[in-house]
Structure 1
Amino acid sequence: LLGRFFEARAKGRASQAITRLLELGAKQARLLRQGTQVMVDPLELVPGDTVIILPGEKIPADGVIDAGATSIDQSMLTGESHAVDRGPGDEVYAGTVNQQGRLEVKVTGVGPNTALARIARLVEEAQATKAPVQGLADRISAVFVPVVIVISLGVLATWWIATGDFADSLSNAVAVLIIACPCALGLATPTAIMVGSGRGAELGVLFKGADVFERAKEIDTVVFDKTGTLTRGAMTLTGLDSEADERLFLARVASLEAGSEHPVGKAVALGAEERDIELAPVAGFQAWRGLGATGIVDGVEVAAGRARFMADRGLHIPDRYLEALETFERRGHTAFLAGWGGEVRGTLAVADTMRESAPAAVAELRRIGIETAMITGDSRQTAEVIAAQAGIATVLAEVLPEGKATELARLDAAGRSVAFVGDGINDAPALAAADLGMAVGSGTDVAKEAGDVVLMSGDPMSAVVALRLARATFRTIKENLFWAFAYNTAAIPLAALGFLDPMIAAGAMAISSLSVVTNSLRLRRFH
């Protein structure tokens, strides 16, 4: 019972971070009803409602901004201290703070269906699971208890035969039973997992199970996906080389790419929009992942993609555009060709921005003995420029999305223990193939994203934090197990020899359990 009390107390303290987060939610919501603002309980909101959030107020529910622009403090959700800019069409989350500007937000999630509530459930589920090392402790405890009973009976018989004093002999036997209670052994692993997962949630790192900690501490290689992980994933159109009418060329290519979900296509469409170029409807749109796309624009079949893709479709590629392609790639830009009527008509280039923390994250991984690599579908020239900026020496370039899992399998076959850091949706096969999948979370539905670990902020340094925290947690587990075994090894002989009466034995047993809990709670200071 005492052991269970300590475990419950540790779990309560470990979950304080999540409890505090849930308590930080808005207490009232400013509902817009038929043009009138009405103050209601946030739990009374339903998806589709429109709420008003004034500067300094907390957002009462998950939603999408209909009107207004602001900076949002979402540190309680992602662990990032700086505010993020948000405007019409952007998602916002319950509990985060509107720092400036009046917002109109259409509600998409309320109460248990908010991102924050899902995070809390995810952490609770992780705390409820058992790490593989806990199985060892359970097996030892299963053998340990009957052995201690036998030892206790032996102590009773030996002392009774030696002294003839049954009361004193019974006292020594009871002392052995009390002091050998395996409470500390049972608490060694779960308390560390509870505190570690709770601290991870505070730092924007979500572990999806206790076994993840054990796998994470074995990682010796981290492979980063490029787009959206090392870079911000917000590409912009940076170059265009065409002998054709530039506006016509960009209009046709942007019209084609407007139907694409790929960041490159979105960048081209945005570039056309910024130049006030009107887009035309597309018929028969088809996309080949990692290669290119085709579609009918203005009655003409337009193709855009890699040089190989264009050649395979019978389009002639003038040397000028191949040279432009190479020039853009040497600068670290992602470049591709576009054309119609059997001829490539121009070269376009887009570029992403390196995350400021990427070089520091790579350097920190190297410092703790972990190698790094970058994987991307970009050409080798472009990839090597980006990798050099981040300080990564190993580059896996021109890899199609479905080929990422194959590349990770090769590293695994070479004896590496590999963690993959990538998008939680687009890189699901690679995340599953890695020894440890680390998904860059969007905050929208972290419980459903692929990966063993979800990095809420998208900052590459979060991957470092996750691995360091996993190592610290497992180190704490080993310390707890060591002290639990050491305590029993030293205490049982003392009790058997009559140096400890039952009251002292009970106190020693309680102290041993308390020491394990206290050692685990040190993880709350991890940073």
Structure 2
Amino acid sequence: MEHTYIITGMSCDGCRSKVEKTLNAIEGIEANVSLQPPIATLKMKKHIPIAQLQDALSAAGKYTITINNSESPTDKPETKSCCGSKKQDAIENVVFADDARGKYYCPMHCEGEKVYDKPGSCPVCGMNLEKIPELITIKIKYTCPMHPEVIKDGPGSCPICGMDLVTMEPTDSEENKMYNDLVRKMKIAVLCTVPVFIIAMSDMIPDNPLMKILSTENWNWVQLLLSLPVVFYAGWMFFVRAWKSIITWNLNMFTLIGIGTGVAFLFSLFGMFFPAIFPAEFKTHNGMVSLYFEATTVILTLVLLGQLLEARAHSQTSGAIKELLKLAPTEAVLVLDGKDKVISIHDIKKGDLLRVKPGNKIPVDGKITDGESTIDESMITGEPIPLDKKTGDNVSSGTINGNKSFVMIAEKVGSETLLSQIIQMVNSASRSKAPIQKLADRIAKYFVPIVVFVSVVTFFVWAKFGPEPALVYGLINAIAVLIIACPCALGLATPMSVMVGVGKGAQSGVLIKNAEALENMSKVNVLITDKTGTITEGKPSVEKVFSLNNDEDSLLQSIASLNQYSEHPLAQAVVNFAKAKGVSLIAVKDFEAISGKGVIGTVENKKVALGNKKLMEQVKVSVSEELENKIVTEQKLGKTVSYISVDGLAVGFVSISDAIKTTSVEAIKELMRQGVEVIMLTGDNENTAKAVASTLHLSSYKSGCLPEDKLKEIKRLQSEGKIVAMAGDGINDAPALAQADIGIAMGTGTDVAIESAKITLVKGDLQGIVKAKMLSQAVMKNIKQNLFFAFFYNALGVPIAAGVLYPVFGILLSPMLAALAMSFSSVSVIGNALRLRNSKL
């Protein structure tokens, strides 16, 4: 069993680790806790009361655990939904959408994942918190072009001049504010640091010209005054972070930065004001104590530069989300009583008729009711060729209308629209942790104490065995060890690649729910795929209705009337066929949809059943040899055939064709070339399944599968150690999608299927699976490159900073050079991650 719970009381990654460790200590529980959102996912061998969980957490700290009432189908893999009446629930149950509303987070990756309820500054690092973007929270303001002081929440006319109001440009985002704040701090840091550096380095110049202006003591005062803005304004956040990390014992890169620069600054202060307490080894030839204001300011400035570059890179990696947000239209044209009225996007309600003019963005998800046009869906599907749309076709929010006007009915608004779901999913995934990140986290947890220990040992070794002034050498090298070992690159290695990868996927029509799915996709060696709507077009059409009594019209009316209550694609095909022939639908009593088999009901006092052979067996209907032979002939042609029985007698069948997508053949061929075993599991009959499998050159397939059969097959493969991906689009596929290591939903499928999956292919095309696998492989390769570089850099840099090369080569690494090398390592990791944006999928 797998359930999710909401945890309150966590404020940092240390809290998260503590809660996770406490829950894992309970027998029979495997816990995974996240901060964003504050959710605990528990896998239980047997049910454990929430009171027992609360007792354990109360003993560990002030943490509260509550049941997550908005568990999605992903949290309930055993649920077997057989109808689509709860589509709305599935959408509202997106945990990220519910929990993220009005939430703020600190975007600096080195600090882990922190989410707060109110705007302001991060209590850990002092940075401005960034608003988690959500489509439905975007508030559009309107103003007058002639009178900018006029600002309203909705469209209308200017009360001063009567001119139509226009939408205002959005204000600076929290992300930009944070970046601009860093830029200001960087300018001040550079302005103050450069003179300090010049003053300190001038001692190396023969006949120092600065000494002719002021004495050494006075220049020391200048250095102190110039270093104060750097320490207490530009770089103060690093000391705050260091202090927080020490008191929570969540040691990180800022622990080393804070200790290193703090020691250098305090040493310099004491050297200025209390020189008498220092032994001769710390003093220069003129009897003054050596000061290290330049080391402090240069190191803080270089680290600040690294943070600035990281913030800039974060802004670039969020580009996909920003572009999606730009797609969101701000207003729409409402058709009311035959007249057009411009309204705000937020005022649209389900069932509203909306006019979409040429070149306009489609405001919400819906269906065309009048007219036709071509729609550019490239921003969502990644496909550049516009699609022809006619009456009855679906259209999506944010896509762009061509050169014709049409009227549509609004079916999904606000957070229900596909565009909104994409934004929410990309946001959630870009801030989730990949399993490989846990390895880096564990290493970093032990790495910092080890570095501090190495730094202390370095000081004492140099103080004991180093040349004079030995204590000075010891202090400088100890600080250099702390600075160069800073695991910033280690902290950036995974999240930067994940963010870029998720954004790249969104641009290519591959929506990834979390980083774990992104990582595991590269390991998949078995793909389970449904047939209808996944391999095939999912737009079945009726070829013919056959009746043993030559009464096709009456039989068509009965089965179409029965199918009007079903959402299955085959059922809709029958209804559409009947309507096209002008057949009227009549009322049906006792309607029942039997999952994986068909439908039954009472039509004009007759018991009618329509479905596969298993349904006929269930309702105890025998099929004549003549009818069976005709059905087998149809099936061998690759047609899907449904049996029809009336009052316990098999009287005919309906033959339905569903063309195989042209891309399915190419995609499956490429996946098999990459070593992925492709297995088709379909509820269709053996003959039809065999015909499709033969066309696709599949080595393995199973027909007549019920939803529970697909679930069992996936569990069987997983028990053999296989990494299984499942691709499907129907409500019946939801349990199997949730059970698979990677559930892949067709974006053209049902909402329940999409919510159960880890990856959604917007276009509903198996080529998307090839793209997802290529993207996963590229991201994992990139992460491994980053981690290797980070580890290699630290393994090489720490010994050099400690001075191992000095006895042989006379080489020492100053703290300033160590800070420069540390910043370079971070920039290299960021640059390598950004290369993913140029990957071809």
Q: What residue is the counterpart of 1:240 in the other structure?
A: 545
- Work out which of the residue numbers 194, 199, 216 in structure 1 matches 2:521: 216
Indicate how the Cα distance of structure 1 residues 102 and 470 shifts in structure 2: closer, same or farther if over 3 A, else same: same
What is the CA–CA distance in structure 2 between the aligned matches of 1:272 and 1:107, rounded to whole Å?
Answer: 26
Contact 1:115/1:444, CA 8 A, preserved across alignment: no
Q: Aligned ranges for residues 240-279 of structure 1 at < 5 Å?
A: 240-244=545-549, 245-279=551-585
Residue 75 of structure 1: how far off its partner (Å):
1.5
C-alpha distance in 2 between matches for 1:226 and 1:255 = 26
Q: CA deviation at 1:45?
A: 4.1
Match of 2:426 in 1: 123
Summarize the Cα distance change of 1:300–1:119 in structure 2 as closer, same or farther, 3 Å threshold: same
Shift of 1:517: 0.8
Aligned counterpart, 1:402 = 708
**Contact 1:227–1:233, Cα closer than 8 Å, also in 2:** yes
Asked if residue 76 in structure 1 is aligned to residue 379 in structure 2, the reply is yes
Aligned partners of 2:729 and 2:754 also within 8 Å: no
The letter for the 1-side match of 2:472 is: A
Pick from 182, 187, 194: which aligns with 2:499?
Answer: 194
Q: Which residue of 2 aligns with 1:67?
A: 370
Q: Is contact 2:334–2:340 with CA below 8 Å preserved after alignment?
A: yes
CA distance in 2, matches of 1:354, 1:280: 33
Q: Report the Cα distance in structure 2 between the residues aligned to 1:110 and 1:270, rounded to whole angstroms.
A: 26
1:451 counterpart = 2:754: no
Alpha-carbon distance between aligned partners in 1 of 2:616 and 2:313, rounded to the nearest angstrom: 62
Are 1:494 and 2:800 matched, yes or no? yes
Q: How far 1:92 sits from its partner (Å)? A: 2.4
Taking the aligned partners of 2:413 and 2:596, their CA distance within structure 1 comes to 37
Pick aligned residue for 1:164 from 458, 463, 468: 468
- The secondary structure found in structure 2 opposite 1:279 is coil
d(CA) in 2 for partners of 1:456, 1:517: 29
Q: Which runs of 5+ in 1 are unaligned?
A: none
Q: Are the aligned partners of 1:235 and 1:352 in contact in 2 as well (CA < 8 Å)?
A: yes
- Measured against aligned partners, the alpha-carbon deviations of 1:60-118 in whole angstroms (never above 9, x if no partner) come to 33334332222221121222233334344444222111114212233455555532122
Check 1:137–1:310 CA distance in 2 against 1; reply closer, same or farther (3 A cut). Answer: closer
Aligned-pair CA distance for 1:486: 0.5
RMSD over aligned Cα, in angstroms? 2.3
Is the 1:115–1:446 contact (alpha carbons within 8 Å) kept by the matching residues of 2? Answer: no
Give yes or no for contact 2:511–2:760 (8 Å, CA) kept in 1. Answer: yes
Q: Distance in 1 between matches of 2:408 and 2:618?
A: 47
Q: Please give the alpha-carbon distance, in whole angstroms, between the structure 1 residues aligned to 2:695 and 2:526.
A: 19
Bigger shift: 350-359 or 292-301? 292-301
1:325-370: CA deviations, max 9, x gaps?
1101111111122132443222321111111100111111112221
Question: Residues 394 and 448 (structure 1 numbering): CA distance in 2 closer, same or farther, change over 3 Å?
Answer: closer
Deviation of 1:424 after TM superposition, in Å, equals: 5.9
Please tell me whether residue 225 in structure 1 is matched to residue 225 in structure 2: no
Q: 1:48 deviation in Å?
A: 4.7
SS in 2 for 1:101: coil
Please tell me whether residue 509 in structure 1 is matched to residue 822 in structure 2: yes
Output the CA distance in 2 between the equivalents of 1:289 and 1:329: 21
Q: Percent identity?
A: 40
Q: Is the 8 A contact 1:241 1:324 kept in 2?
A: no
For residue 448 of structure 1, report the CA deviation from its aligned partner: 6.6
1:446-483 Cα shifts (integer Å, max 9, x gaps): 99711111111101111111122112111211111101
Aligned partner of 2:179 in structure 1 is none
CA distance in 1 between counterparts of 2:394 and 2:346 reads 19
Look up the SS of the partner of 2:608 in the other structure: strand
Correspondence for 2:454: 151
1:523 is aligned to 2:836: yes
2:442 paired residue number: 139
Displacement of 1:196 in angstroms is 0.8
Equivalent residue letter for 2:373: T
In the alignment, is the contact (CA less than 8 A) between 1:446 and 1:454 conserved in 2? no
1:39-54 equivalences under 5 Å are 39-54=342-357
Paired residue for 1:377, among 672, 676, 683? 683
Maintained 8 Å contact 1:324/1:347: no
1:179 to 442, 462, 484: 484
Task: Give the TM-score of the pair, scaled to structure 1.
Answer: 0.94
Q: Does 417-426 or 225-234 show the bigger shift?
A: 417-426
Among 358, 370, 373, the alignment partner of 1:55 is 358
Amino acid across the alignment from 2:405: R
Q: Secondary structure at the match of 2:731?
A: coil
Structure-2 residue corresponding to 1:436? 742
Q: Deviations over 1:118-175 (max 9, x none)?
A: 2112111112221222121112112111211222222222223321213333222222
Q: Which one-letter code corresponds to 1:495 in the other structure?
A: A
Structure with higher Rg: it is: 2
Counterpart of 2:674 in structure 1 is 368
* One-letter identity of the residue aligned with 2:532: T
Q: 1:309/1:155 Cα in 2 relative to 1: closer, same or farther (>3 Å)? A: closer
Shift of 1:265: 2.2
**How is 1:474-489 mapped onto 2 (pairs within 5 angstroms)?**
474-489=780-795
Q: Distance in 1 between matches of 2:607 and 2:754?
A: 38
- State the distance in 1 between where 2:750 and 2:705 align: 28
Correspondence for 1:344: 650
Residue 284 (structure 1) shift? 1.9
Task: Note the residue ranges of structure 2 that are not aligned, 5 or more in a row.
Answer: 1-237, 239-302, 804-810
Q: Deviations over 1:274-298 (max 9, x none)?
A: 2222333222222322223322223
Alpha carbons of structure 1 residues 446 and 468: separation in structure 2 relative to 1, 3 Å: farther
Number of residue equivalences = 527
**Pairwise CA distance, 1:429:** 0.4
Aligned partners of 1:302, 1:102: CA distance in 2, in Å?
Answer: 44
Distance 1:508 1:188 in 2: 16
CA contact 1:118–1:445 (8 Å) conserved in 2: no
What code does the residue aligned with 2:536 have? Answer: T
Report the 3-state secondary structure (helix = DSSP H, G, I; strand = E; otherwise coil) of the residue aligned with 1:395.
Answer: strand
The one-letter code sitting in structure 2 at the alignment partner of 1:123 is V
